Homo-oligomer: A and B are copies of this chain.
Amino acid sequence: MSNALPNKQITLAHGGGGKLSRELVEEIIYPIFDNNGGHRLLDSALLSLDGGNIAMTTDSFVISPLFFPGGDIGKLAACGTINDLAVAGAKPRFLSVGLIIEEGFEIAYLKRILHSLAKTASAAGVSVVTGDTKVVEKGNCDGLYINTTGLGVVPENVSLGPEKVSVGDLVIVSGSIGDHGMAILSTREGLSFRTEIESDCAPLNDLTEKLVATGGVSVMRDPTRGGVASILHELAQESGLTVEISEEMLPVHPAVNAGCSMLGLDPLNLANEGKLVIFAKAHKEEEVMNVLKNHPLGRSASVIGKVTSREEWGKVLIETTLGAKRILPLIEGEVLPRIC
Which residues of A approach B to under 8 Å, CB–CB? 11-21, 43-49, 53-62, 84-85, 87-88, 90, 94, 96-100, 129-132, 134-137, 139-142, 145, 147, 149, 151, 154, 224-227, 230, 271, 330-335, 337-338
With A141-B140, A147-B147, A149-B149 as given contacts, are A130 and B58 in contact (CB-CB < 8 Å)?
A: yes
Contact B54 A147 (CB under 8 A): no
Known pairs A16-B333, A59-B132 / 8 extra A-B pairs, C-beta < 8 Å: A17-B226, A44-B84, A56-B130, A57-B96, A58-B97, A60-B100, A98-B98, A136-B145
Bound Cα distance A225, B15 (Å) = 9
Contact B17 A225 (CB under 8 A): yes
Contact B98 A12 (CB under 8 A): no
Contact A16 B49 (CB under 8 A): no
With a CB–CB cut-off of 8 A, which chain B residues contact A145?
Answer: 100, 134, 136, 141, 145
Contact B47 A56 (CB under 8 A): yes
A-B contact pairs, 9 of them (CB 8 A): A16-B334, A43-B84, A48-B54, A57-B96, A58-B132, A58-B149, A100-B100, A134-B338, A147-B149
Stoichiometry, copies per complex: 2
Bound Cα distance A309, B147 (Å) = 41
Bound Cα distance A261, B165 (Å) = 67
Contact B337 A18 (CB under 8 A): no
Bound Cα distance A333, B23 (Å) = 11
Contact of A136 among B16, B20, B142, B333 (CB under 8 A): B142
Please give me the residue from chain B that is nearest to A330 by CB atom.
Answer: B19
Bound Cα distance A99, B58 (Å) = 10
Contact of A19 among B49, B147, B271, B333 (CB under 8 A): B333
Contact B331 A18 (CB under 8 A): yes
A105 CB to nearest B CB, Å: 13
A216 CB to nearest B CB, Å: 21
A182 CB to nearest B CB, Å: 16
Bound Cα distance A132, B337 (Å) = 15
Please give me the residue from chain B that is nearest to A23 by CB atom.
Answer: B332
Contact of A331 among B19, B84, B132 (CB under 8 A): B19
Bound Cα distance A48, B153 (Å) = 10
With a CB–CB cut-off of 8 A, which chain B residues contact A60?
Answer: 98-100, 132, 134, 147
